[in-house]
Chain A
Amino acid sequence: NAGVTQTPKFRILKIGQSMTLQCTQDMNHNYMYWYRQDPGMGLKLIYYSVGAGITDKGEVPNGYNVSRSTTEDFPLRLELAAPSQTSVYFCASSYDRGRYEQYFGPGTRLTVT
């Protein structure tokens, strides 16, 4: 199993541009998450999904959109990129809620200039 994969690994955007961060998991997990990690901070939840067709906002959803058309994929869309969105983005998945481990992807480092 590849686990959770993310593309791209690095990206530089200009202010106002848009992009989609891709996330795929091959563990047949229902739960998927997007986090961002700012320098010197822990991760903060942007959006999550409990299954195909179901998404919900996390702690810091402004400026982002998500969709979940399949169990495997959970892309994160950035519209009108701003410098405040410069961060490292992590996708994660888990079999279920509660005690179940969240498996993380390797992250995408995004810089908006």
Chain B
Amino acid sequence: AQTVTQSQPEMSVQEAETVTLSCTYDTSESDYYLFWYKQPPSRQMILVIRQEAYKQQNATENRFSVNFQKAAKSFSLKISDSQLGDAAMYFCAYRSAVGSEKLVFGKGTKLTVNP
């Protein structure tokens, strides 16, 4: 079974600075998808960024980018120019390309942005 590990329960960053959230996963599959979801205090889960395992190029969405290391099974999220609105729980998630429909989530990292 696949597992997702987020080793940083909490992180903090100063406004306008850069922070990196870590995620590692365990799988025997070669084709899969990885996601970062944001959960603000409102509880609404919002997709931040996704990565297809077959793509070597790291995904980027505005201030958010990932460092995808397939051999190391690592999928970190970098937030540049942090804003107060980035404060939230961030969840890393794995989804198989075939078979199981489920998203496998890590336990999350709570990000605090200090003004």
Does A43 contact B103, Cβ atoms closer than 8 Å? yes
Chain A residues near B97: list those with CB within 8 A.
98
Does A42 contact B50, Cβ atoms closer than 8 Å? no
Say whether A22 faces chain B, with CB atoms less than 8 Å apart.
no
Stretch at the interface among B14-22, B38-46, B65-73, B77-85: B38-46
Which residue of chain B is the closest to A103 with respect to CB atoms?
Answer: B47
Give the contacts of B91-115 with A (CB-CB under 8 A). Answer: 91, 93, 95, 97, 101-108
Say whether A75 faces chain B, with CB atoms less than 8 Å apart.
no
Chain B residues near A44: list those with CB within 8 A.
105
Say whether A33 faces chain B, with CB atoms less than 8 Å apart.
yes
C-alpha spacing A33/B35, complex, angstroms: 17
Does B44 contact A45, Cβ atoms closer than 8 Å? no
Say whether A41 faces chain B, with CB atoms less than 8 Å apart.
yes
Chain A residues near B107: list those with CB within 8 A.
40-42
The number of residue pairs between A and B whose CB atoms lie closer than 8 Å in the complex comes to: 55
Does B33 contact A98, Cβ atoms closer than 8 Å? yes
Which residue of chain A is the closest to B6 with respect to CB atoms?
Answer: A42
- Interface size of A by Cβ–Cβ distance < 8 Å? 25
Say whether B87 faces chain A, with CB atoms less than 8 Å apart.
no
Say whether B88 faces chain A, with CB atoms less than 8 Å apart.
no
C-alpha spacing A90/B93, complex, angstroms: 15
Give the contacts of B55-69 with A (CB-CB under 8 A). Answer: none
Say whether B52 faces chain A, with CB atoms less than 8 Å apart.
yes
Does A90 contact B45, Cβ atoms closer than 8 Å? yes
Say whether A87 faces chain B, with CB atoms less than 8 Å apart.
no
Q: What are 9 A-B contacts defined by CB distance under 8 Å?
A: A45-B101, A59-B102, A92-B45, A98-B95, A99-B50, A99-B52, A101-B50, A102-B47, A107-B44
Residue numbers of A with Cβ under 8 A of B are 31, 33, 35, 40-45, 48, 50, 56, 58-59, 88, 90, 92, 97-99, 101-102, 104, 106-107
Residue numbers of B with Cβ under 8 A of A are 4, 33, 35, 42-47, 50, 52, 91, 93, 95, 97, 101-108
